[in-house]
Amino acid sequence: MIKINREIGENEYKENNCNLALKYLQIVLDFILEHPFSEEFKFIEVEVLNRIGSCYYKLENFEICMDYFKRAYERYEVYHINDEELLGRILYNIGLTIYIIGRYDEAIYYLNEALKLKNINNQEKTKINIIKANIYHNTERYLEALEVYEEIEKYEKSYLVYYNMSIISGKLGLEDKSGEYLNKSMNLQLDDNSELTTNTLLQLSYMYSQNKKLREALICSEKALINARKFYQVDKYVECYQSIFEILKSMKKIERFEEYVEDILYEIDIYHENYKILYNITLLLFQYTSEISKLDIGLNIINKIKGGI
């Protein structure tokens, strides 16, 4: 009974059907609580409490989810369970939720407890330290935020890490360091075939644009396009082109977008059966031809699309 209901609950959780997941997980928890002396149920109880907390987290009911996470932590301690992977998940969940609620000092305590675990890997360290850095940044403790990022840099060299280090250094008045971190960000090699690198570069480009650093923004968007092409991330092409278009428009160098038109028309030839891409590329090209007052190019585009469909 426990196994079946728990499996159903876990599957519903993975499908983001959290209310349904709660129904089945609560059945499991109720059964366990009715048999408090069963040794084999102790570990399961802690896991289920943690998962119920995660359901409420997804439902954005943070006060209730915090109650379950803390109950999981309390039971873990009382039962003397020795499983650092489970403990790490619980501590991270508590720290993240308290951070969202805004109780920053308490969040730091639990995040630091998670960092003390022996078997924590670099990916988990990065997640935890990013939250710590955000807390320090939000509370204007910039030096401590920078120290956390310097710790992250030891095992996670990414565009956003260096960008954030640059911004924080700037707020501390460390202009040379700020420039150094920006250069490190711009010089990173593209070797990630997931969409993470492309998304990060686009986000970095947006941040540069917001700070009026349009040259750097353009470089990031162009790098994003190169990465998207290299790994055939077709759904990202239009987003990259759109970003480049907006930056060139802000730079008052819209005529340079002509360099990309031939490639965009090539994309129409290749992906003409993907109507989402076709629609978005067409819309972008019409924006461009409208900006340069060359609607005859727009008509040629229509004819090209008609010929491809």
State pLDDT tens for residues 128-146.
Answer: 999 999 999 999 999 999 9
> Nearest Cα to 36, choosing from 68, 70, 78, 8?
78
Range from 23-27, 34-38, 89-93 carrying the lowest mean pLDDT: 34-38
pLDDT exceeds cutoff 90 at 38 = no
pLDDT of residue 303: 66
Both tokens assigned to 222 = 């162009």
pTM of the model: 0.68
**The predicted structure's pLDDT at residue 309:** 47
Q: Which of 57, 68, 150 is nearest to 97 (CA)?
A: 57
Per the structure block, which two tokens stand in for 118?
Answer: 């022996």
Q: For residue 205, which of 259, 178, 260, 242 has the smallest C-alpha distance?
A: 242
CATH code, 1-120: 1.25.40.10
Q: What's the whole-number average pLDDT of the chain?
A: 87
- Is 62:97 a contact under the CB 8 Å cutoff? yes
Contact between 112 and 148 under an 8 Å Cβ cutoff? The reply is no
Taking the CA atoms of the chain, what radius of gyration do you get in angstroms? 25
Q: Residues 84, 92: contact at Cβ < 8 Å?
A: no
Residue 194's pLDDT band (cuts 50, 70, 90): low
pLDDT digits (tens, 9 = 90+) for 248-305: 999 999 999 989 988 888 877 777 667 777 778 878 887 888 888 766 665 666 665 5
Look at residue 297 in the predicted model and tell me its pLDDT.
Answer: 62
Domain positions in the chain: 1-120
Query: Residue 93: is its pLDDT beyond 60?
Result: yes
Residue with tokens 């353009």, as numbered in its chain: 218
The 10s digit of each residue's pLDDT in 43-88 is: 999 999 999 999 999 999 999 999 999 999 999 999 999 999 999 9
Contact (Cβ atoms closer than 8 angstroms) between residue 79 and residue 46: yes
